[in-house]
Structure 1
């Protein structure tokens, strides 16, 4: 505890002229009686005339707060100010975000390799399992020859152009996403169709060929498609998939008998 003399020196430095302790302080001087007297309330007779503007008097402060008279005013907490500023700025930020143009999300480029061939009245867009051109002794190429013989087509197809490998570039800012790949493959096949004789049917062998030339997915396997700009097409599972899952060949043969009329009638 501090002495009365030091206590008064602290209060004077803080510019506190009147104060009351909440508990009895040792070594303290007795309180002045006028500070403990109740405040006098004005009577109704002494009310201010109606023509004079009435100003409400401030409510008396509790005894526990008398010691704070003359203290420094409490400054707003920085956290509260930032919160209010953030709330007031939120609508404007949302408005700016709504007005800002939406940038299209660039998708990762797909990876595939396709080879276009011609066998009789049909063109074949074949997925290259290894990414390299088919060789005469490759199991995938031998299976393709079996499919062509079963379809009544020449089993030595002619290569048309270089393989299409996607993505075209490994670097650069050019968009090489799925939509760009679809447009490129379709334009490539359409250009080859214009240079070739009449094509009775376009074989799409493998999921990349079905997806980026026929605009379909794996559910279209063994079905006929009508592709704008490319004409009639037939979707087939990939050669590697047929070798890994031989059970798919039975459904493929049944589908082939239904589609075979497209190029058989031309040959006849």
Structure 2
């Protein structure tokens, strides 16, 4: 107890205020009982061994009011004031894309007509292939040169193999095929466009058109003749008669224009 009194006397002589909290501090260690009991007996003078050294300082030390520490909020109130955590953002669903169609088309020129032909095997028509021989016979019957000229490389779709981040669905395929044919027709106008096969009709005209011997008027490509594919004509010979009957009606369109 005397050591505590001496410590406080020195602190007061140096004008250092000494105070103890009037309430229990959160998370603080418990106070010693002798410190709390000593706080009720304020010291007014220095001990005898130090009275001769600094008597004036002790006597002139004014009584300093002990500051009152504001009452702290309860821990439960502090915890309740915390804002609720924000919900985690919901990941956006991936965009579903249509599966790209697969086809190969070849653009050919025979006299005043332009031909867009399905290539079922993916290889260009040439040599003694039955499909190529049939095409040459059809051109001779139509009064056109029987050695059609290939225009560029075959149109193969999808154009980017294995690219899953790029849209290559039916709409993109139709836009691409129509742009290729229209670009050529702007530089080399044709009297009639033959669409031979299901893929040629679907992506150059409209998938709703039936694959039969009929004439159609396309907004961007002009007059077109819908013809079954070479493979279908080879498998079903009866279709050749339908093609011949339709060809007789349309033949003057490109023969009389020479």
**TM-score, normalised to structure 1's length?**
0.59
Q: Where does 1:40-79 land on structure 2 (aligned, <5 Å)?
A: none
1:160 to 119, 137, 151: 151
Q: What is the CA–CA distance in structure 2 between the aligned matches of 1:191 and 1:177, rounded to whole Å?
A: 21
For 1:247, the equivalent position in structure 2 comes to 238
For 1:229, the equivalent position in structure 2 comes to 220
For 2:160, the equivalent position in structure 1 comes to 169
Identify if the C-alpha distance between structure 1 residues 103 and 261 changes in structure 2 by more than 3 Å, giving closer, same or farther. farther
2:182 to 164, 186, 190: 190
Instruction: Please state if 1:108 is matched with 2:103.
Output: no
Misfit runs of 4+, over 6 Å = 101-104
For 2:253, the equivalent position in structure 1 comes to 262
Q: Deviations over 1:211-265 (max 9, x none)?
A: 0001144624210111111100001000011001111111111111122122122
Identify if the C-alpha distance between structure 1 residues 163 and 224 changes in structure 2 by more than 3 Å, giving closer, same or farther. same
For 1:213, the equivalent position in structure 2 comes to 204
What SS class does the counterpart of residue 258 from structure 1 fall into? helix
Conserved? CA contact 1:202–1:232, under 8 Å: yes
Deviation of 1:206 (Å):
0.6
Q: Deviations over 1:132-155 (max 9, x none)?
A: 111121110000001000100000
What SS class does the counterpart of residue 266 from structure 1 fall into? coil
Identify if the C-alpha distance between structure 1 residues 102 and 228 changes in structure 2 by more than 3 Å, giving closer, same or farther. farther
RMSD: 1.8
Number of matched pairs: 166
Report which of the two has the higher share of helix.
Answer: 1
Q: Where does 1:3-14 land on structure 2 (aligned, <5 Å)?
A: none
Identify if the C-alpha distance between structure 1 residues 202 and 260 changes in structure 2 by more than 3 Å, giving closer, same or farther. same
